[in-house]
Structure 1
Amino acid sequence: MTVDDRFTQSFQERQQNRPLEPRSEIITGPVSDWATDFSHAEPEWAADPYPIQDELRQRCPIAHTERFGGAWLPTRYEDVAAIAYDTERFSSRAIIVSNVRPPLELAPVGGTPPISSDPPFHHDARKLLLPAFTKTAVSRQEQVTREFCHSLIDSFEGQDVVDAARDYAQHIPMRVIADMLGFPPEDGPQFREFVENALEGINSPPEERILRVEKLFDYLLTQIRDHVDNPRDDLTTYLINAELYGQKLEPNHVAGTMALLLIAGIDTTWSAIGASLWHLAKTPADRERLVAEPALLPTAMEELLRAYGPVTMARLVKEDMHWNGVDMKADDWILLSFPAANRDPEQFDRADEVVIDRQVNRHAAFGLGIHRCVGSHLARMELRVALEVWLERIPNFGLADPAAVTWATGQVRGPRTLPLRIG
């Protein structure tokens, strides 16, 4: 059997097996009480989740909902950290809360290793990726990323108002990840569709979600076939040829990791860049200080990540248990809100303020525990370069219409429309 045949057969089996099973009906609509009926898929959460999280932290630090078949929302740093580090009682085989759950037999690998993997498999799957995301490897991407940022700003010539989310932030990680995986850069619009399907369509009918997943994996199979026929020095060829335990990676492992890098690698950084520009646009004092003191940017960047960290992950409860005062059932979701942890006043002084020269800042924007973001060096480089180039080229900017700013719903939160006045 050729490599191409092996991948084709595996993808056909994947579609026949459809490894997603419904557990609950679609539940949407206004929240009656955030402590007992929360939903991160509602517009008011997307618009501003922080007051909700702050109120819950005081009143009901581990909230519950029957939506999505049952889910819990811890809001204290210590609870979020405890769950993130506890791989004995909480599984990572599904990290996006929705109305479907992958079956138990997918563990310990999961659909998108290593983020969906449990120990001991997780350690070895993660180790495979580390060489591509070291500081040294990432540094080789910096110059081309900087040039691309300049080219995006060049395209703004003659415009007084630009959408910094649509026309700047989203394109930077799309280009970087496409280059790393060896995908055509012109496929960017498809990448956006894949991201939105995976992360924002969580209340879509289960069959519709399955079809969207299949569309993504069909695209990945096309890219894999091209790389089999035309090997080159990129992450896709590396994964196709990589070995684990003396054997080539299973096709679903290769495709799942590619899906992870494509979706998580784009949306998280897109959101972080957009949120940072939003803050600087509405906070002239911080913007002016960074323009005057560019050396402060790395410190300010960490604070922007703390204050507006985009990523919330999920876990599944392994067995019925009583945990920190609540009764959790097997296969209940845990919505692991790193943004809530980052604003816990027990962990951070002036937790609800953005202090761009904050010196002690052990934030959780890149996660905690064994699943801490493998691409954190890459994300930091993209965010830093994107802000450096913007502030150099457009030192004076502000919100064109604060009411026109919209935010993504779901577990990765960032601006989706961000009109800024630059002229």
Structure 2
Amino acid sequence: MVHAALSPVAPKPAHVPDALVYDFDIHADPGLLANPHARILDLLHSAPPVFWTPRNGGGWVALTHAANHEASRDTETYSSEFVPQDRMKALLASLPPGAPHIPQPIPITLDPPEHTKYRQPLQKVFSPKTIAALRDSIRELAAALIEEMKPAGRCEYMAAVAEPLPVQVFLKMLGLPLDRLPEYRAIVKEHMEAIDSDREGSMRRLQKIAAAMRDTVLDRRDNPQDDILSMLWKLEIDGQPTTLADMENYGVLLFIAGLDTVMNGMGLAMRGLATDLPLQRKLRDNPKLIAEAAEEMLRRYTFTVPMRIVKKEAQLAGATLMPGDWLKLFLPAADLDAKEFPQPDVYDLDRENNVHIAFGVGPHRCLGSHLARVELQVLYEEMLARMPEFRLDPDHPTVFHGGHVIGIESLHLVWDV
């Protein structure tokens, strides 16, 4: 198990009652690092539905499905504009000529109606039709990775399959060079780990991401190819041609989302299958169930924790939140809420209500959800069709990580050869 240092304790604001304080560190909570979803089930029993934690700079955490659903949809109260747009525009206007652009992961850091203006053009790029056309190439890559590891009888699954599959798919889609994969992953990891501890450094880290992509972005403007960067250059935003600044804004968002998120879902789901051999057998016998199985896996092991900043005084599940407060939408807890999903800890293929919010809900619902679903379903199909029964390796316990995307650092599997 990983032991991480707890972040410093922030002072409690006057409007937070003692009864709503619960000490929880999203990056370093020992229970979360030992077994995240077991700890999340414990949180739902032991912590208030919305609580304030002194860790990670101090802020609120929404646990219940109802609280997450409400806050996700109310963008006027719970804002994604961590730096208000008027201040950001003034900052950009004040930069000296020739200064590097400060990219923003747009549209995720905007609220409607501005958010809609920038999200709408991306809908075409990630439409179900566009993504369906990638299914065969995703299957080909998944099959190659699985066949490569199969003869050994054991593997560290994150390095062997869960990281290279979605990351290579995404780099190819974007048109970025595959040989820079380790460099790109290191940059994203640095950014994700520092979101809470170094909020001020966020702009510098985003500039680093934009710089890593810039050569390719400019090349696609002058030499378009069959990839997302070339498609983005052809878009119009509010009737205006795409600029380099727009491209860098879109680029940092897609880079962060594509190079980190889905691999964690794959690792958590594969660990779930490795600990449930009867489920493996059931899905091998009836592969048509895999699409449904993937949805229940997303509910049972939801992994993203989006952030919001409170814009006006609000009541949320009995808590009073004030302007300037931070709020974590703890979606992994929302999808384990017994009020919404009876026996939430049970993986139930026949669950009547399986309307999970693993991809979020409201205006900021994950733009890449179609791609993630195809990747997850194809991976399960190929693993179950090609591999003998696989189990957790008893000699190498799973190592988890917390943060804004909860997931697995290393997952050792074994099987008979």
TM-score, with structure 2 as normaliser: 0.86
Instruction: After superposition, give the CA deviation of every residue in 1:74-111 in whole Å (9 maximum; x if it has no partner).
Output: 111111111001011111124xxxxxx7886238x992
Aligned amino acid, residue 33 of structure 2? A
**1:105 alignment partner, one of 60, 83, 87:** 87
The residue aligned with 1:46 is 33
* Aligned match of 1:62: 50
Per the alignment, residue 80 of structure 1 pairs with: 68
Which amino acid in structure 2 is aligned with residue 63 of structure 1? Answer: F
Cα offset, 1:204, TM superposition: 5.0
Q: Classify the secondary structure of the residue corresponding to 1:111.
A: coil
Q: CA deviation at 1:195?
A: 2.5
Count residues with an aligned counterpart.
391
Aligned pair 1:142/2:135, yes or no? yes
Pair 1:262–1:278, CA change in 2 (3 A): same
RMSD over equivalenced CA pairs, Å: 2.7
What one-letter code is carried by the residue in structure 1 that aligns with 2:64? R
Aligned residue identity for 1:37: D
Indicate the residue corresponding to 2:246 in structure 1. Answer: 253
Q: What's 1:262 paired with? A: 255
Residue 93 (structure 1) aligned with residue 81 (structure 2) = yes
**TM-score for both structures, normalised by structure 1:** 0.85
- SS of aligned partner of 1:73: strand
Deviation track 1:199-252 (CA, whole Å, cap 9, x = no partner) reads 223355567655433321111212212212322232112222321122123433
Q: Distance in 2 between matches of 1:306 and 1:157?
A: 29
- Distance in 2 separating the partners of 1:257 and 1:197: 19
Q: Select between 73-82 and 329-338 the one with higher mean Cα deviation.
A: 329-338
1:341 and 2:329 aligned: no
Equivalent residue letter for 1:46: L
Alignment of 1:365-384 (within 5 A): 365-384=358-377
Q: 1:252 to 1:46 in 2, by over 3 A?
A: farther
Structure 2's unaligned 5+ residue stretches are 11-18, 93-102
Per-residue deviation, 1:162: 0.6
Distance 1:167 1:30 in 2: 38
Q: What is the aligned counterpart of 2:171 among 172, 178, 194?
A: 178
Mapping for residues 115-154 of structure 1, pairs under 5 Å:
115-154=108-147
Equivalent of residue 399 in structure 1, options 387, 392, 395? 392
Spell out, residue by residue over 1:357-389, the C-alpha distance to the aligned partner (whole angstroms, 9 max, x if none). 324310011101111111111110000111111
In the alignment, structure 1 segments of 5+ residues that lack a partner are 1-25, 95-100
SS in structure 2 at match of 1:404: coil
CA–CA distance in structure 2, aligned partners of residues 360 and 309 of structure 1: 16
Question: What is the identity percentage for the equivalent residue pairs of Structure 1 and Structure 2?
Answer: 31
Q: CA deviation at 1:314?
A: 0.9
Q: Are 1:194 and 1:263, in contact at CA under 8 Å, matched by a contact in 2?
A: no
Whole-Å separation in 2 of the counterparts to 1:157 and 1:79: 44
Mapped to 1, the partners of 2:121 and 2:402 lie a distance apart of 32
Does 1:28 pair with 2:7? yes
Residue 198 of structure 1 aligns with which residue?
A: 191
- The one-letter code sitting in structure 1 at the alignment partner of 2:288 is A
AA paired with 1:115?
Answer: I
Cα 1:271/1:127, change in 2 over 3 Å: same
- 1:40 positional shift: 0.3
1:417 lines up with 2:382 in the alignment: no
**Where do 1:193-272 residues align within 5 Å?**
193-202=186-195, 204-205=197-198, 210-272=203-265
Displacement of 1:190 after TM fit? Answer: 2.1
Residue 274 of structure 1 and its aligned partner are, at CA, apart by 1.1
Q: Deviations over 1:310-344 (max 9, x none)?
A: 11111111134454432323222110011111011
Counterpart-to-counterpart distance in 1, 2:248 and 2:254: 10
Query: Is 1:299–1:359's contact at 8 Å kept on the other side of the alignment?
Result: no
Residue pair 1:296, 1:357 contacting (<8 A) in 2 also: no
| Residue identity opposite 1:242 in structure 2 | L
Whole-Å separation in 1 of the counterparts to 2:395 and 2:109: 37
Letter in 1 for 2:363: I
The separation in 1 between residues aligned to 2:223 and 2:122, in whole angstroms, is 22
CA contact (8 A) 1:77 1:347 kept: yes
1:416, distance to aligned residue in structure 2 (A): 1.9
More deviation, 40-49/263-272: 40-49
Counterparts of 2:320 and 2:88, CA distance in 1: 25
- CA pair 34-356 structure 1, distance change in 2 beyond 3 A: farther
For the 8 Å contact 1:300–1:358, the answer to whether it is kept is: no
The change in CA–CA distance for 1:169 and 1:202 in structure 2 (over 3 A counts) is same
- Structure 2 residue aligned with 1:19: none
Question: Structure 2 vs 1, CA of residues 88 and 210 (structure 1 numbering), >3 Å: closer, same or farther?
Answer: closer
Q: Distance in 2 between matches of 1:220 and 1:329?
A: 38
Shift of 1:288: 1.4
